[in-house]
Amino acid sequence: MIYTEDNLKHLPSRNRASLINNCCGIRSANLIGTVDTKLQENLAVFNSVMHLGSDPALIGFILRPLTVKRHTYDNIHQTKFFSINQIPRDLYTEAHQTSAKYKKNESEFETCAIEKEYFENYTVPFVKKSKIKIACRYESEYNIKENGCVMIIGKIQMIAVDDSGISEDLWINHEKLNSIGIGGLDTYYTVKCIDRLTYAQTHQDSKSIYGAQKTTS
């Protein structure tokens, strides 16, 4: 099937959203945890978390237009901190439920039965079951004029990775950590590592690193 710009305009809104949300492929699945100045917690699923650079260590994610209340956005502006938590395979149904429109005074940790934890020196909540937890400090934001979405940029303050999924050279194996991916807004995929290759150079074939690691692990 081929869909032109004109075709897309005439599709039913839900079908159009499903097609466009899915056509870019599988994305990372994360829960973002925040808290306001009154210590009211919030947790929300996001499929838009992205790496923005390693030095300085920056992470970004996209928020939908602020035409309605966005508790994640409000909390980050109040406290300047947020947590990013990788969603493991055994938590995807509870994580998905956080996308429901809960009231400000309802904690998704409680309503969606997701166990939380706190780390010393950080005021934001983390997801206890998550195998990768990242603490971020708000740095800046950019308004996307074409559709009103907002890109939030955070600076990494701490990364906690389960020992079972990280190698000596600090490579993270998402398959071992039971990480999952999101397709569109409602479809969840398991992760399988096909291979890990050497740094690509001109006129030289890349070699498998992961194959050697599998035989020794």
Q: Using pLDDT thresholds of 50, 70 and 90, give the confidence band for residue 212.
A: low
Judge whether residue 215 has pLDDT over 90: no
The DSSP letter of residue 44 is E
Average pLDDT, the chain: 95
SS3 track for 149-190: CEEEEEEEEEEEECHHHECCCCCECCCCCCEEEEECCCEEEE
Mean predicted confidence (pLDDT) in 102-113? 97
What is the per-residue pLDDT for 66?
84
pLDDT of residue 213: 56
**Res 68: pLDDT:** 81
125-180, pLDDT tens digit by residue?
999 999 999 999 999 999 999 999 999 999 999 999 999 999 999 999 999 999 99
Which residues does 69 contact at the CB level (< 8 Å), separation at least 6? 104
Domains of the chain: 24-192 (2.30.110.10)
